[in-house]
Amino acid sequence: MNIMNYKIKDDNVDFLFKAILALRNMDECYGFFEDLCTVPEIKSISQRLVVAKMLSEKRVYSEIVQKTGASTATISRVNRSLTYGCDGYQLVFDRIRAEEEREKVAESEENK
């Protein structure tokens, strides 16, 4: 994975990422991002993430357009990032999947 994308690296971006990494739960994320971004910016970012997830699941453009409302241009840009990017999407998807599996196991253990 290429985690050093110097096209965006600078002190301001470092500070932003440190702030994000300081968040501890979903409520803190909601509060921080509502303060930081406009609602359309948050919706746009979350839409691209869902598009990336669907592309990684080999969903077709027409289904992605229907489910997310994303334009085909947005889907193409996200697909380019998945193909030629820094593997950031896949890293996040793998970690979310692993966390969901841990939660299922823990829930299963509690129900025994």
Q: What are the domain boundaries of the chain?
A: 7-36, 43-110
Dist CA 33 CA 98 (whole Å): 25
User: What's the confidence (pLDDT) of residue 111?
Assistant: 87
User: What's the confidence (pLDDT) of residue 4?
Assistant: 59
Cβ contacts of 54 within 8 Å, gap of 6 or more: 63, 64, 67, 68
User: What's the confidence (pLDDT) of residue 95?
Assistant: 97
User: What's the confidence (pLDDT) of residue 40?
Assistant: 98
Q: Which residues of the chain have pLDDT under 70?
A: 1-5
User: What's the confidence (pLDDT) of residue 1?
Assistant: 45
User: What CATH number was assigned to the domain covering residues 43-110?
Assistant: 1.10.1270.10
- pLDDT per position as a tens digit, 23-39: 999 999 999 999 999 99
User: What's the confidence (pLDDT) of residue 25?
Assistant: 97
Look up residue 104 and give its amino acid.
Answer: K
Q: Which residue has the tokens 């889907």?
A: 75
User: What's the confidence (pLDDT) of residue 7?
Assistant: 86
